């Protein structure tokens, strides 16, 4: 297991913990609001942050584990080399898209950080706290997409399963 694989696996577990924390915060908010008429000022915004960071930190692991959505209706009909070529091109497309999002996302984060923008909510958190998740998560996805493209180029490719005829 490479260091990057260990990093993305650890981040995936962290993302799972953030999803659990988000669910706990929202449950607490519902109970506080509807049973005790004491809503919080923090639960909705912090749970939203957990969902943002959790989703974006788990993307690289999802790509490596092939847990993302794949449409294979046409590719399974191709010979192995055709499937490998399309997989390689798909990983390059993911890498290119991720690089663009990192570039643009970093500019947005940096602008908010320099200007000191806040969310404007009751909690009034700095906007960059959520915005940093975008370039960070897509940077990880960029690296993972390049790793996957190299794997395919080396011939390490698992064909998608064919759906049996009914």
**pTM exceeding the 0.75 threshold for the entire prediction:** yes
CA distance 139 to 107: 14
- Specify the pLDDT at position 1: 62
- Specify the pLDDT at position 90: 92
CA distance 135 to 47: 20
Q: Which SS3 state, helix, strand or coil, does residue 125 take? A: coil
Per-domain boundaries in the chain: 3-153
Candidates 152, 14, 109; CA nearest to 144 is 152
CA distance 111 to 126: 12
- Specify the pLDDT at position 166: 53
Task: Walk along the chain (166 residues) and give the pLDDT tens digit of each residue.
Answer: 689 999 999 999 999 999 999 999 999 999 998 888 888 888 889 999 999 999 999 999 999 988 888 788 888 888 889 888 999 999 999 999 999 999 999 999 999 999 999 988 888 899 999 999 999 999 999 999 999 999 999 987 776 555 555 5
Instruction: Report yes or no: 140 and 11 within 8 Å, Cβ to Cβ.
Output: yes
């Amino acid at each position: 297991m490479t260091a990057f694989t260990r990093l993305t696996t650890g981040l995936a577990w962290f993302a799972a913990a953030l999803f659990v924390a988000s669910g706990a915060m929202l449950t607490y908010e519902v109970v506080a609001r509807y049973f005790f008429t004491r809503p919080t000022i923090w639960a909705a915004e912090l749970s939203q942050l957990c969902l943002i960071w959790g989703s974006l930190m788990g993307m690289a692991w999802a790509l490596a584990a092939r847990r993302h959505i794949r449409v294979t209706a046409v590719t399974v009909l191709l010979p192995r080399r055709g499937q490998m070529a399309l997989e390689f091109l798909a990983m390059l497309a993911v890498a290119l898209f991720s690089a663009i999002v990192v570039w643009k996302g970093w500019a947005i984060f940096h602008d908010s950080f320099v200007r000191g923008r806040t969310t404007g909510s009751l909690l009034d958190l700095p906007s960059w706290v959520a915005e940093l998740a975008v370039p960070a998560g897509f940077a990880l996805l960029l690296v993972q997409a390049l790793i996957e493209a190299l794997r395919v180029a080396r011939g390490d490719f698992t064909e998608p399963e064919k759906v049996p005829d009914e």
